[in-house]
Amino acid sequence: MNAGRLVKMAKKGDKEALLQLIMAEKDAYYRLALSYMKNEHDAMDAMEEMILILYEKIGNLKKAEAFYSWSKTILVNLCKSMLNKQRKVIPLESMPDEQHSHQVPHVNSEQRLDIQQMLEHLNEHQRETIQLKYLHDLDYKTIAEITNVSIGTVKSRIFEGLKKLRELFGGDSNE
């Protein structure tokens, strides 16, 4: 069954349809939550909270095709809120390898360390947008919704962040 039809069913109160939508992207939700929360327990808590909010607010969703960007925005906002409440904002660079391996399974620990050390040189906004774009494979529109800025700002943050990385670490300027 396609996502649009499932969203319409979920908006009418079909819990099973909502669950199917969530399960179809559960790994992406988990990786996204883990990248913010830094540990499995807190990531799962954020996902559980997201599911409750989705169930309560699905009726507010205007466009069925926006379900996944809408739900990921909710998840990111929940993660940020939980981190603020816990007052334990931990930079991604300090995440232990075993937890970080869930985020980027195709990158070995040495490469992860290199990537994280490189990202340390960026400001928080550049780092977040680059991680959402390249580690979570989100499109500009979704990143803009998640970070609550314009698409132009997202593109600028990514461009400036990558430019800074190229200046610091070299690389092909024709990319």
pLDDT-wise least confident of 21-25, 39-43, 107-111, 137-141: 107-111
Which domains are delineated in the chain?
A: 1-90 (1.10.1740.10)
Judge whether 46 and 82 are in contact, CB under 8 Å.
Answer: yes
Between 172 and 136, the higher pLDDT residue: 136
Phi, psi of 145 (to 5 degrees): -65, -40
pLDDT of residue 27: 94
pLDDT of 86-138, one tens digit each? 764 445 544 444 444 444 444 555 555 567 778 888 899 998 998 898 888 89
Cα distance from N-terminal residue to C-terminal residue, the chain: 39
Measure the CA–CA gap between 151 and 9, rounded to whole angstroms: 30
Q: Chain-centre distance of CA 142, in angstroms?
A: 9
User: Whose CA is closest to 138, among 76, 45, 84, 79?
Assistant: 76
Judge whether 108 and 40 are in contact, CB under 8 Å.
Answer: no
* pLDDT band for position 60 (cuts 50, 70, 90): very high
Q: Write down the mean pLDDT value for the chain.
A: 83
Q: Which residues contact 65 (CB under 8 A, 6 or more apart)?
A: 3, 4
